Amino acid sequence: MRATLREIVLGCRSLLVGMRVTMVEFFKPVVTVPYPHEALRMPERYRGPIELVRDPATGRAICYACQLCARACPSGCITVEGVKREGERRKRVTQYQLDFSLCSLCGACVEACPDAAIRFSKRYNWATPHKEEFLLDLVRQLEQESR
């Protein structure tokens, strides 16, 4: 009988403690953002999918297809191709494919790039039901941004 009474008292106490926590949280201000109408400011260190950096003098990508980023990528999600044209010192990147569905955003590719030709973008609102849309051609994306 005494054990039963003790369990009832402890249960009521536990219930009151839980209700007190609930009431305190109930009257606190709302911290959620009404998302499509307001957007959160992304922190400076946010890592989105990588993007090519544009050379301000020429308007083309700084990347010269050395493929260090592709070798450094542990996921194997980067494919780089380039062509050396007549009269140019270095190769120019012609194709830079990123399979973002495999990318782990580790940053190994960005750190391995000797000329800082790639960086993390600030793109965060990106969802799709089609896996093909996560196959990115970064050269074409850079050309579309310049138009």
Structure tokens at 130: 């089609």
In a domain, 142, yes or no: yes
Assess whether 11 and 60 both reside in one domain: no
Domain limits at 117?
50-146
Quick check: 38 pLDDT over 90? Answer: no
In a domain, 23, yes or no: yes
Assess whether 59 and 113 both reside in one domain: yes
> What is the pLDDT averaged over residues 93-115?
93
d(CA 143, CA 147) in angstroms, rounded, equals 7
The β-bridge partners of 93 are 82
| Mean model confidence pLDDT for the chain | 91
Report how many domains make up the chain.
2
pTM of the model: 0.71
Assess whether 66 and 120 both reside in one domain: yes
Determine what percent of the chain is predicted with pLDDT higher than 90.
61
DSSP 61: B
Q: Which of 46, 60, 73 lies closest to 117 in space, CA to CA?
A: 60
Q: What is the pLDDT of residue 52?
A: 94
